[in-house]
Structure 1
C-alpha cells in the first residue's frame, strides 16, 4: 500500500466511529435542558416538542429544568456538556442573544453552541393602561412628545426583552419615556392595571385576556404579521415603525463540537415534531407560532439578533454588568 493509501485508510478509520455514532444515534436517552423552572412557556415548548421527538426517535427524552440567571445557567450547562448529541437545550432569546451583551456569561453563543433549529416565536404587544388617552401609535407618540419624561413603561426586569423593547421604542419614536423595572410579568401587569405605569411590551398571550376584558388598550404588535388571536391590532410596521420588530423566540441548541450528522438528525426530527398537528395546536393555544429552520439559517438569525440588541443596549445607554 502506498503512503497516500495508508493515509486515506487511516482517515477512514478515524471517521468510522463518527459515522457509526451518527447512524445509531440516539442509542440512549437524550437530556433536554430547559433553562427555566417548570410551568413557563419555555418548559411547555420543550415538553410538547420533546415528547413528539421522543416518539419519532423511539428513544426517551428527559426534560431537565435548570433555572437561574434568566436562562444563562442552563444554557451554559449545554455549552459545557459532551458534544455527543445526548445533551441539548431549548432556550430563549434572552440567554442566546441578549444576556451576552448585558452581563458576563461563561459561554460565547456562536462559538460554544451549535444551533439546531429555531422552534417557536411569540410577538410582544405594546399596550397602554386604561387611563392613557392615546388610542393608536401616532396618538401615543404625540402624547409622549407633549409630556417628555412623564410617561413610564414597565418591564419584567432590567435587560429583559420588555425592557429592551421599551428602549427600542423610545429610540425609534424619539420620545422621552421612563423605564420602571419589576420582578416579573405579574407585578408589572398589576401596576399597569392599577394605572401606576402607562405602558408595557409583553408576550401577547400574557396580556390578551386583559385586552379582551377591556382593561388594557392594544397599540401595536411587534410581530411581522398580525396575530390570529388579535386580528384587529396592527403590526408596528403597519403603523410606520418597521424596525420595531419585537418577538420572543425559543430555539434548540447543542454543544459546539457536536458532529454535523447528529445536528442534521436532530434538526430533521425536531422539524417533523413541529409539523405535527397536535403539537402545533397545543402551542398555538399558548400564542406560539412554530418556526422550524435550518441550522445554518438559525445561526444567522441568532447572529442578527445579537447585533440588534447589542446596538439597542449601547444606543440606549443601558447599564450592563460586564
Structure 2
C-alpha cells in the first residue's frame, strides 16, 4: 500500500463515529493536571499543534492540560522525559518523526528504546515539507531547478534544520531522485537556515510549511513544490513534487505518545480522547491555517506507521551515508 493510501486510510478511520470500548470505560487517570510535553522550543509548528490539541484534550478529559516545552536533541530529550515519567497517564508527549522514527535508525545515541519504552497513542498531524528558493535564483519550477543544478554541479547548496532532520532527508531524497549534485548545509534549526535562504547563502531548502509561509506571502521566498501527497489549500497553485515529475514525498509528522509502562486501559482512554479532539472543527480549522492535516487513528495503526517511516527514512539515510553519532 502506498504511503498516500495508507495515510488516507488513517484519516478516514479518524473520521468514523467514536465508540468507547469497555477497556477505556474502566480506566482512571489520577487526579491532577496532565502534562503535554513539547520536545521543541516555544513558537514552532510542533508547539502550536500541541497547544490546540491540549485545549481540546482538556475539555474531553475534564482536566487541566499544561503544555511544557523541553527541547533538545531533535525532540529526543522531551520524549525521554515522558517515557521515564510516572506511568499514571498524566505525562504525554507530542513527539516528532525525528525523535522516534529517524534518529534511532541513523545512529543517534538514544536514551530509550522506541519499540520497548514508547507507547504510541495516535498520529496527530502531517506537516508537508515545502521546497522554496530565493527570488534571486532564476528558477520557478522543479524542472528548472533540476536543470539549473545539472548545469551547475556542486554549486547548489541546500539548507536544513540539522543533520538527520526531515528537511535534510527530503533534500537527499530529491538529490537521488533527480540525479543532481547538490550540497547539504545544516543549521541549528529552521530559522537561521531560512534567513540564509532569503539572503541567497543557500539556494534551496525543504522546510515545514509554517517555517516559510510568511516569507512566501511576503515574496521574499519563491515556493517551488510541496513534498506531500496532495496540494495545500494555502498554496493551491504550488504543485506536489510528484506532479512536477520527481517522485519525492516527505511529510513531517507529530504523534502523541506516552510511556509503555502506562496501563493499557489508560492508554486506550488517552487514545480515544485524542481521536475525538482531532475531529473537532475548531482544531481542524486551526491546523489547516498552519498547513497541517489532522489524522488520528488507532494505536496499532500509529505503531505500524512508525515502523514503516523508520524503514523508509533509514534507507534514504543509508544511501546518503547520513550518521547522527
TM (normalized to structure 2)?
A: 0.87
The 3 A distance-change label for structure 1 pair 269 and 20 is: closer
Inter-partner Cα distance in structure 2 for 1:269 and 1:288: 20
Q: Which runs of 4+ in 1 moved over 3 A?
A: 19-22
- Please state how far the C-alpha of 1:31 moved relative to its aligned partner: 2.2
- Please state how far the C-alpha of 1:71 moved relative to its aligned partner: 1.0
Cα pair 1:128 1:198 within 8 Å, conserved = yes
Residue 221 of structure 1 pairs with residue 244 of structure 2: no
Inter-partner Cα distance in structure 2 for 1:206 and 1:319: 25
Question: 1:41: which partner in 2?
Answer: 45
User: Structure 1 residues 223-232 or 248-257, which shifts more?
Assistant: 248-257
Inter-partner Cα distance in structure 2 for 1:56 and 1:146: 56
Inter-partner Cα distance in structure 2 for 1:59 and 1:156: 35
Any stretches of 5+ residues in structure 2 without a counterpart? 1-21
TM (normalized to structure 1)?
A: 0.88
- Please state how far the C-alpha of 1:258 moved relative to its aligned partner: 2.5
The 3 A distance-change label for structure 1 pair 46 and 213 is: closer
Cα pair 2:79 2:99 within 8 Å, conserved = yes
Question: 2:17: which partner in 1?
Answer: none
- Please state how far the C-alpha of 1:233 moved relative to its aligned partner: 0.6
The 3 A distance-change label for structure 1 pair 270 and 20 is: closer
- Please state how far the C-alpha of 1:123 moved relative to its aligned partner: 0.3
The 3 A distance-change label for structure 1 pair 145 and 226 is: same
- Please state how far the C-alpha of 1:182 moved relative to its aligned partner: 1.9
Question: 1:153: which partner in 2?
Answer: 158
For residues 102-156 of structure 1, the C-alpha deviation after alignment (integer angstroms, 9 at most, x for no partner) is 3111112122111100111110111112122222112211221222111110112
> Which of 165, 169, 173 pairs up with 2:174?
169
- Please state how far the C-alpha of 1:84 moved relative to its aligned partner: 2.9
> Which of 132, 137, 143 pairs up with 1:132?
137
Larger Rg, first or second structure (1 or 2): 1
Residue 142 of structure 1 pairs with residue 138 of structure 2: no
Question: 1:238: which partner in 2?
Answer: 243
* Paired residues for 1:294-309 under 5 Å: 294-309=298-313
> Which of 280, 292, 307 pairs up with 2:284?
280
Question: 2:258: which partner in 1?
Answer: 254
- Please state how far the C-alpha of 1:24 moved relative to its aligned partner: 4.7
Question: 2:29: which partner in 1?
Answer: 26
Any stretches of 5+ residues in structure 1 without a counterpart? 1-18
> Which of 183, 203, 212 pairs up with 1:207?
212
SS of equivalent residue, structure 1 residue 275 = coil
For residues 201-235 of structure 1, the C-alpha deviation after alignment (integer angstroms, 9 at most, x for no partner) is 01112212222333222221011110000000111
Question: 2:203: which partner in 1?
Answer: 198
Cα pair 2:103 2:164 within 8 Å, conserved = yes
Question: 1:9: which partner in 2?
Answer: none
Cα pair 2:227 2:250 within 8 Å, conserved = yes
Count of residue correspondences: 302
> Which of 264, 271, 274 pairs up with 1:270?
274
- Please state how far the C-alpha of 1:171 moved relative to its aligned partner: 1.2
Inter-partner Cα distance in structure 2 for 1:271 and 1:260: 16
- Please state how far the C-alpha of 1:22 moved relative to its aligned partner: 6.4
User: Structure 1 residues 267-276 or 59-68, which shifts more?
Assistant: 59-68
- Please state how far the C-alpha of 1:20 moved relative to its aligned partner: 9.4
- Please state how far the C-alpha of 1:82 moved relative to its aligned partner: 3.2
> Which of 100, 107, 111 pairs up with 1:106?
111
